[in-house]
Chains A and B, each alone.
Chain A
């Protein structure tokens, strides 16, 4: 009787150790990927800045750098990728298709994971400066005007119409599980002389014609 209970306990312990290791590896993998990817994306970003379009950071990637995002006060320097699918967001903040590309007049919306790249959004305050460098190379300065919490269905946040930089991440920041309905939204407006390209078309490339609704 005791032997079978011992055996069970033994299995339980082995199981817990294995599952624990697996969970830590899984969580560590996400963090490590997010952290490493940003370093590795730099080279793709430099090639992009050198004039090459759509530099895939690795051969099978379905995304490419579209901008560089910096917040000096918080020591943030990240490469923004094209697209906001889960696969893209694992490597870096993603530009939401259908919104204005960085550097183009309109509302550029960038989203990122609250537990990795965009964790810093919670420290942004109105008046903070955000520097956004689009692929063209001209540096744009934005100033944070608001930080608000919205629902995930508030799609009007993506509305075009005025020149804005919108940063979106999940809310609350310390929630353990993903899938919540809250979104933390930072709005920033361009500063004078930011050099937006007002005449540029909303979408230059037909391949980027992705839709948000339906």
Chain B
């Protein structure tokens, strides 16, 4: 009947329609392709393919030495030594003595030399290294770096067991152990002294566990000199980072992390505690009768892929307001002075308009948890702005982009734009930090406006010095606050950049911490700080104080200086400026607690201060001379001094070779290897998929159109008669 007829009729139409659309699709695609080149100059005929012969290659045609193709990746002929680390911390009040035992085991059948690149706290005063072979202990000696290396090399060649501990950065060290016999275990014990950082009533001890892969800016230097004991990093040295190969240990990204670590802590806080926790690792704690806490990891071993942090908080009112530790060493009096300045009265805290520049690192190393933490922190920061404030958001990976061309008023509209901008931030690409800092430091605020740069990054770069120099030169009246993000931030960069930027540093290691840590930062950003702090010494006193210039103090931060004096009991006056109100305090240095290691903390601070002068433009040879003098006399490892221990008798038979192996390290927790190291290019398109799906859809469409009762509209059909259209009543 009519229906039947209609179906037939429309079915024919349908065929036509689909064929027409197929044709249209192909024509459209060709037209689109042509459109792309519409502006191109006339095409010339392709040159005919060259007339070279197509016969197979003869062996004599091959250039000599060119066939050196590498076997498949992951090929390990000689096994690297296996490492196990034990950290034992003895914390008493504000000082900690830490012993790190690195146990190198050679699982292979060849004699090996192992080198391990590992982190330590950036303020650690490393003063001791011992090599343990079986029951014997060999004490390490401090030497100038080059001389120490020579001692080590000589021993290595002679087949003697030896170990060398050198510093690459204040927070990156390398242990090298020579001549480990097959199946043997050799232990290197490293000891250091550390003062505990204390801020806003909280004590925190950070123990980094892994050197995160660093971004190395610049092109590789052309000739990599191949000498013994080179760096074994995955990066090549560049003009910007001449020691890149020494700070980029091989990385293994696997489900089973390497390098297990155990941590045991004895904590004598010296005051009642309201809170004690290991922030990132589960720990078992016990308190004995003397009020001393004993802590150990719940899983006796954890992989070295996430920095350890211990936090303790005294009960309200019991936090120390002042502390003095002293030590007599070689006829001199050394002291470490901690002083809590009075909190400025709340009434003086008039809110100054601020210009906040948020700089966020969106490089590949921030991928995963880190960028989530950074986004959350940034959004919290935006909430603190008032309409009187101005702000801008800068993101950088290998490129720097700013949300606004310059700082804008924090209106609801602008804040909304910023929030959606932040939501869209993705982490990928390189870490060219210099241009981002340049952009942030370029502009200056108007008078009476507080300009604050909040810099969120993991600091995974190798060119710290260049960045410090830039901050030092361009800071002006701005202040720089670093927020270290992720499981293994570069603490040296964080603390030093904040110091050069005359701000403070904060660490965020997990998303749950963002609120608390950012709140602490906001209270520092929004309350006036103590500036121009000076200590007046009695006239006749020769005092050597480090840091030489006391930094500004933010809310809740204590004054901490290391002193070298002639006599212990002194009356001193502290002066400063609290948001325009002069401030003064009398202090008597008397009866401090005698502690060993204070002189080393003093020397460590002096070295840090001297090293900072490099960024201020002092020539390196001059710095080197001064640092060498301090480091050698106080037995400290520094950029220019190393500890070396050598066994007396050779152990490796002269006819046995020695293989060098760099110990692999873990990728920090939460990092993505492909985002950090990249991938080979993506070399496929979905064209074939598109074609297949397209054909399938068309075929289905045609089949379905034959379904009884489907009145197919002729609107798409190019040919139709009025009757059909009229009959197609749906």
Contacts and interface: CB of A to CB of B under 8 A. Distances in A.
Interface string A28-69: 111111011101101100100000000001110000000000
User: Can you list the 5 inter-chain pairs with the closest CB atoms, starting with the nearest?
Assistant: A27-B690, A28-B29, A20-B697, A23-B694, A24-B694
Contact of A203 (B67, B219, B460, B692): B219
Contacts, number: 301
A36 B716 CA distance: 30
Contacts of B688: 27, 115, 176
Interface of B: 14, 17-18, 21-22, 24-26, 28-30, 32-34, 36-37, 39-47, 49-50, 52, 54, 56-57, 60-63, 65-70, 72-73, 213, 215, 218-220, 222, 234, 363-365, 398, 429-431, 460, 673-674, 676-698, 700-701, 704-705, 707, 709-713, 716, 730
A210 B61 CA distance: 34
B21 A36 contact: no
Given A25-B28, A163-B63, A19 B697 contact: yes
Contact of B57 (A39, A72, A129): A129
B387 to A, nearest CB: 39
Contacts of A21: 21-22, 24-25, 694, 698
A153 B673 contact: yes
16 contacts: A5-B709, A6-B709, A10-B713, A13-B14, A21-B694, A23-B697, A28-B691, A29-B32, A33-B36, A43-B44, A46-B44, A59-B39, A152-B679, A153-B680, A158-B680, A176-B692
Given A20-B697, A24-B698, A152-B680, A30 B710 contact: no
**Chain A facing B: main interface SS:** mixed
Contacts of A131: 50, 52
Contacts of B61: 143, 191-192
Contacts of A57: 37, 40
A10 B310 CA distance: 68
Interface string A118-140: 10000000010101000000010
A73 B222 CA distance: 37
A28 B30 contact: yes
A18 B66 CA distance: 55
A17 B21 contact: yes
Interface string A149-185: 0111111111101111000111000011111100100
A2 B215 CA distance: 66
B460 to A, nearest CB: 8
A20 B696 contact: yes
Contacts of B429: 214
B677 A7 contact: no
Interface of A: 2-3, 5-7, 9-10, 12-14, 16-33, 35-37, 39-40, 42-43, 46, 57-59, 70, 72-73, 75, 77, 84-86, 89-90, 94, 96, 111-116, 118, 127, 129, 131, 139, 141, 143, 145-146, 150-159, 161-164, 168-170, 175-180, 183, 187, 189-192, 194, 201-203, 209-214
Nearest to B693: A23
Given A168-B683, A179-B684, A162 B52 contact: no
Contact of B683 (A30, A113, A127, A150): A113
B57 A24 contact: no
Contact of B694 (A22, A176, A179): A22
A21 to B, nearest CB: 4
Contact of B222 (A29, A89, A202): A202
Given A21-B22, A214-B215, A214-B676, A115 B685 contact: yes
B704 A40 contact: no
B54 A72 contact: yes
B687 A116 contact: yes
Given A22-B694, A58-B36, A170-B684, 19 more contacts: A13-B705, A19-B694, A20-B700, A24-B22, A24-B691, A24-B695, A27-B689, A28-B30, A32-B32, A36-B34, A36-B36, A85-B681, A89-B683, A111-B680, A127-B56, A131-B50, A139-B52, A155-B679, A180-B684
B701 A27 contact: no
B340 to A, nearest CB: 42
B69 A146 contact: yes
A193 to B, nearest CB: 8
Contacts of B62: 143, 189, 191-192
Contact of A16 (B33, B54, B700): B700
Nearest to A125: B56
Contacts of A151: 73
A33 B687 CA distance: 11
A20 B460 CA distance: 48
A43 B43 contact: yes
B683 A112 contact: yes
Contacts of A6: 709-711, 730
B459 to A, nearest CB: 13
A94 B681 contact: yes
**Chain B facing A: main interface SS:** loop
Nearest to B676: A214
Contacts of B234: 213
A132 B30 CA distance: 30
Contacts of A59: 39
Among B65, B676, B688, B707, the most chain A Cβ lie within 10 Å of the Cβ of: B688
Contacts of A157: 680
Contacts of A169: 683-684
B709 A153 contact: no
Contacts of B25: 20-22, 24-25, 28
Contact of A162 (B14, B22, B47, B66): B66
Contacts of B365: 214
B17 A178 contact: no
A16 to B, nearest CB: 4
A90 B707 CA distance: 41
Contacts of B73: 150-151, 154, 156
Contacts of A58: 36-37, 39-40
A172 to B, nearest CB: 10
B29 A13 contact: no
Contacts of A36: 33-34, 36-37
A42 B44 contact: yes
A21 B73 CA distance: 44
Contacts of B47: 42
B8 to A, nearest CB: 16
A9 B711 CA distance: 9
B595 to A, nearest CB: 43
A58 B705 CA distance: 45
B43 A40 contact: yes
Contact of A20 (B29, B32, B33, B701): B701
Nearest to A36: B33
A58 B36 CA distance: 9
Given A202-B222, A214-B430, A70 B66 contact: no
Contacts of B695: 20, 24
B49 to A, nearest CB: 6
B282 to A, nearest CB: 31
Contacts of B713: 10, 14
